[in-house]
Amino acid sequence: MQLKVPASLNADETMMLRAVEPAATGSAVTRSGTAPDGNGRGRSRRRRKAPRASALSRLPAAAPGLTRLVARVASDARRLRPRYPHADRAGWRRWAPSWRQWLGAALACTGLTVILLGSAYAATDIPDNLNSYATQQDNVYFWSDGTPMARTGWVRRQAMPLEDIPEDVRGAVLAAENASFYSDPGISLSGLGRALWRTVGQGETQGGSTITQQYVKNVYLNQDRSVGRKFTEAMLALKLDNQMSKDDILEGYLNTSWFGRGTYGIQRAAQAYYGKDVGDLDVSEAAFLASLLKGAGLYDPALSQANHDRAVERWSWILDRMAETGTLSKAERARYTKFPEPLKRAPGFDTGKQSDYLVELAARYAKKAAHLSDKEFDFGGFQIYTTFDRKQESALTDAVAEARKQARKKDAAKAKSLHFGASSVATDGRILAVHGGPDHRTQGYNESNATTVPAGSAFLPFVYAAALENGVHKTRDGAATEVTPQTLYDGDDGIAVRTPEGPYWDRGGKQVTSHNDGEKSYGRISLGRALALSVNTPFMQLGMDTGLDRVRATALRAGLLPSSFGPQVPAMSLGSATPSAIRMASGYATFAAAGKHVEPYSVSRITRNGSGIALDKPASRRAVKASVAAAVQSALTDAFRTAHPGADPAATVAGKAGTTQNDTAAWYVGTAHSVSTAVVAYRIDLGKSLEPLPLKGIAGSPGNGVPYRIWSGARGIG
């Protein structure tokens, strides 16, 4: 039978047709969609709207391949869609997901994890500011012979370039901590798993970190033990491994790790446990130091016998491990059978007492000469090679200690307020030794560098040199008259000081006169002889004739500082200036150096972590003519021999004593073997005032007093 679809129906609509057996009922379906009932009347049926075509059926016919793909995916999705309970299963299996569902869930979790980790990695930035404590170092000071003198700073750490750390030392650390360091991505998944399990399960983290992770913890993070910190550590380690070379990471790790005994870094550890630099370690010693990375408190043999046993066991294991990883050959491994016992205690430095005065001088000079700010210098890592001579420093310290002891025996009351400043300076400007006080920990100010008391008659050589260099003026506008060592001046006591116009009057209207020690008169005396005998009156007048401005200029060129000078009055020629012992020694060194002066300096070289730091070094310059210096030196030689006739006549020694008119200071300054030494003794009761007190005989007589005995003891001169 053929059915005709009325034109009024849409193409996408269908009719619900109900077929009736024609033989049984003889009825027919009408066009209106009604069927006759048993009485022959038609029963109406409601027309149903045809369902919309599926999206799959609406795909263009031109894309059959796409249609099949979409159908395949839709079918798989229907299978993965959970249907609970499963009608085709029995028992508990009706509720269990199918393998397809398990697979889908696993893939979804994996994808989500990758997205989260990727986002976390992208969002992780390596901090610009390092953990300042982890990178702070101490500054180490060395004697002139290269041996350590002192160290400063809160952290005992000295960074070393990787190329200065021997291969065997690196190999021992890698074998002990992270043999796969050069091939891993910066993290250990198994180690992270163990750490997470321990953290979650038992409340503490566990090892298993790579060297990169440990370095990250040292320099970027704190020591907090938590899952969050461990996750951050892993992200930073991954990123750092991509941005830094393995060698740079290893170098940083070796220089920031804790090794016990108050030390950070392999260099300071080598010094603390074996008293040597890291470059001098052998394989066996390196293996022991590597064992400390697991926990110095458990492996330092000096702490307990149990520690010693653990250290020996781990030391042996590390050597075996080095052989396994190829760092050591089996033959080399067999050589190391005896445990390399470390020092019982870390070698200390002679801090406090005199060494702190030396450090104070050197640090001040280093910052100035290397153009370092206080912040840069205090951050540490500097090796300061000083000019201080260990033997000369010891001799000077011993000489002062003996003088102090004798003063206590002579007059204990006066000795309590007795102070000694002393310094030895080479003719090339190197400060070889200083005495700054009894102990820097109890007296902070440095007596060798203090401008406390006047130079007195020890200043006369500068007046003499100025006159020889410039000549004198007897009239206001006349030409200069040459002066020689044989030029005669009035050496009587109490003579009036004159200007070209007549006597010199002070502001109080009083005529100024000059006096000799003991008010002794010498009559007409040559300038050379007057210096040798320390006659004051000729030099007070000589200063006026030369010009006090020229005297001051000569003293400044020779090494004294402008700050030590007061008003330019006649008393300046008799030593009213207050130079330090260092500057007086430097000034006399100029005469011994044929008139050439080099500013005193205490640091010869500076490095930071092995790399040189540019350092301004003072240059030699002409202060006075060589002939003038020779004449001054000759007069000082005569002064020494006159005061000490029993001295070896062949010795090249020159020097003179210095006294002040108010008895507040006693000096001795002289040169021997191209080294100038100045010693001053004075009294100050620091508990009451900074004003100097009269010595009252505690320093002895001028020619052979306490300053000379210290000077001769320090210089080895009888």
How many whole angstroms separate alpha carbon 591 and alpha carbon 460? 13
How many whole angstroms separate alpha carbon 550 and alpha carbon 468? 11
Predicted confidence band at 174 (pLDDT cuts at 50, 70, 90)? very high
DSSP assigned state of 320: H
Per-residue pLDDT tens digits for 462-496: 999 999 999 999 888 888 999 999 999 999 999 99
CB of 434 within 8 A of CB of 361? yes
For the segment 119-123, the average pLDDT, to the nearest whole number, is 54
For the segment 74-89, the average pLDDT, to the nearest whole number, is 66
Burial class (CB in 10 A: 0-12, 13-18, 19+), 69: exposed
User: How many residues are recorded in the chain?
Assistant: 718
The whole-chain average pLDDT of the chain stands at 82
The reported pLDDT for the residue numbered 66 is 72
State both tokens at 295. 């926990």
The reported pLDDT for the residue numbered 235 is 65
For the segment 228-236, the average pLDDT, to the nearest whole number, is 63
Percent of the chain topping pLDDT 90: 50
CB of 654 within 8 A of CB of 640? yes
267: Cβ contacts below 8 Å, ≥ 6 apart: 158, 159, 160, 255, 277, 278
Q: Higher pLDDT residue, 16 or 682?
A: 682
Per-residue pLDDT tens digits for 356-383: 899 999 999 999 999 998 878 887 889 9
How many whole angstroms separate alpha carbon 420 and alpha carbon 439? 12
The reported pLDDT for the residue numbered 215 is 80
Average the pLDDT over each of 38-47, 263-272, 436-445, 669-678 and give the range with the smallest value: 38-47
pLDDT at residue 285 is higher than 90: yes
pLDDT at residue 9 is higher than 50: no
β-strands 418-426, 675-683 pairing: antiparallel
Give the number of C-alpha atoms closer than 13 A to the C-alpha of residue 327, restricted to the C-beta side.
23
Per-residue pLDDT tens digits for 95-116: 677 666 677 777 777 776 666 6
pTM beyond 0.75: no
The reported pLDDT for the residue numbered 650 is 67
The reported pLDDT for the residue numbered 113 is 62
Burial class (CB in 10 A: 0-12, 13-18, 19+), 650: exposed
How many whole angstroms separate alpha carbon 305 and alpha carbon 314? 14
| Residue 490, SS3 per DSSP | strand
β-strands 382-386, 139-142 pairing: parallel
Q: Which residue, 306, 284, 301, is CA-closest to 342?
A: 301
pLDDT at residue 575 is higher than 90: yes
Residue 370 β-bridge partners: none
Q: Higher pLDDT residue, 90 or 208?
A: 90
pLDDT at residue 55 is higher than 70: no
Per the listing, tokens 């000759």 go with 634
Most confident of 53-67, 207-221, 530-544: 530-544
pLDDT at residue 18 is higher than 50: no
CB of 352 within 8 A of CB of 570? no
The reported pLDDT for the residue numbered 181 is 86
Most confident of 406-420, 588-602, 655-669: 588-602
CB of 458 within 8 A of CB of 708? no
Per-residue pLDDT tens digits for 294-333: 888 899 998 889 999 999 999 999 999 999 998 899 999 9
71: Cβ contacts below 8 Å, ≥ 6 apart: 56
The terminus-to-terminus CA distance of the chain in angstroms comes to 150
Ramachandran class of 91: left when φ > 0, alpha when ψ lies in -120 to 50, beta otherwise? left
Per the listing, tokens 């005297």 go with 551
pLDDT at residue 441 is higher than 60: yes
Task: Work out the widest C-alpha separation in the chain, in whole angstroms.
Answer: 176
pLDDT at residue 61 is higher than 60: no
pLDDT at residue 622 is higher than 80: yes
State both tokens at 626. 């060589």
CB of 363 within 8 A of CB of 377? yes
